[in-house]
Amino acid sequence: MITGDNEKTAEVIGKQTGIKRIFAEVLPEDKAKYVKKLQDEGKFTAMVGDGVNDAPALAQADIGIAIGAGTDVAIETAKVVLMKSDPVDILRAIKLSKATVVKMKQNLFWASIYNLLAIPIAAGILYPKFGISLRPEWSALLMSLSSIIVATNAVLLNRAEKSLVEI
| pLDDT tens readout for residues 113-124 | 988 988 899 899
Domain end among 67, 85, 103: 85
Under the phi-then-psi rule, with left for phi > 0, alpha for psi from -120 to 50, and beta for the rest, what region is 18? left
Task: State how far Cα 20 lies from the chain centre.
Answer: 23
Instruction: Please provide the average confidence, as pLDDT, over all residues in the chain.
Output: 90
Are 101 and 135 members of one domain? yes
Q: What is the pLDDT of residue 167?
A: 60
- Dihedral (Cα; 71, 16, 19, 6), 10-degree rounding: 60
Residue 83 pLDDT: 87
How large is the average pLDDT for residues 27-45?
95
Cα dihedral 23, 16, 61, 48 sign: negative
Are 109 and 73 in a shared domain?
no
| pLDDT the model gives residue 108 | 94
Specify the number of domains making up the chain.
2
Quick one: what percent of the chain has pLDDT higher than 70? 97
118-166 tens-digit pLDDT: 889 989 999 999 999 888 899 899 999 999 999 999 898 888 777 776 6
Q: Let me know whether 159 and 129 are in one domain.
A: yes
Q: Residue 18's domain spans which residues? A: 7-85
Residue 1 lies in a domain: no
On whether the pTM is more than 0.75, the answer is no
Asked whether residue 14 is assigned to any structural domain, the reply reads yes
